[in-house]
Structure 1
Amino acid sequence: MTSYWTPHQYIGSIILITLHKEFKTLLGPSGHSGSTFIFVSLFSLILFNNFIEDTPQAAMPLKLKIDETEETISNIIRPGTLAVRLAANIISEHLLLTLLGNTGP
């Protein structure tokens, strides 16, 4: 029985082999045997799940609650982060003026 590869299978195998080589390079000689298989599988799972467009209906209330909480926390933290950035800019300007002022004769 002869089996024929479709172009999709061929491209898929090239991608999997490339991912295997990349993870093997990253793990180095200390990597356990089979660990690249786990990382390639996890990478593929995350990649293909990112292409799914809809959130399941059962998860919608949770997603909305997380979005509201994230927005609330962001609004609470924003004035503090802006204050830190402003203070850092003021200090750096004074530091720069001090350093440049001491380079004279």
Structure 2
Amino acid sequence: MNNLFSTFDPSTQILSMNWMSIILPIIMIPSSYWIIQSRINKLWNLIILNLHKEFKLLMGKSNTGMTLMMISLFTTILATNFMGLFPYIFTTSSHLCFTLTLALPLWISFMIYGWFNKTIHMLSHLVPQGTPAALMSFMVCIETVSNCIRPGTLAIRLTANMIAGHLLLTLLGNTGPLMNTSMVSILIITQIMLLILESAVAIIQSYVFAVLSTLYFSEI
């Protein structure tokens, strides 16, 4: 079991600077080297434009500048998730040191801004509309706890989803030498399907993290 979970350590024996995978996509594919936009750049610009429209709809017209930060957050998580699919590269988004570093400062800044500038609005959010008078004190406790665990749920959701898929790929890969020749082809097909699923999970989890952060900000 120790050898199995050692794949999620922040370093491996092959590459000692696995945390560099966070900025590798930015270093390897800078857009300034393209004289004419490639199809990948055009596709990425289209994705960013659609994300900007969606985040602006969630935040409102008065907070359009925040969409840039949320798009940057989406891009960072997406890049780290995809870099973790390559061999011998540590998946930084599967470590709480990385995910909590993104979620906790965002949540603290939202709370500080809300409680200092819109105190009455923040207090009204603790009691949902239509709550009976007898349950108001109980609902305040529930809403307070739900607000406090938001950064933890954001970080653990991303970490758990990235660990689960990589752990399944590792378990199936370790059973390869013990299988018959006829079963290896089935194992390879299964691994390819799981890799495609992991690529989809990498996109979905980065989108979910950015959208939930946007929704938390829109409440303020």
TM-score (norm 2): 0.23
Higher normalized contact order (CA 8 Å, seq sep 6+, divided by chain length): 2
Larger radius of gyration: 1
TM-score (norm 1): 0.45
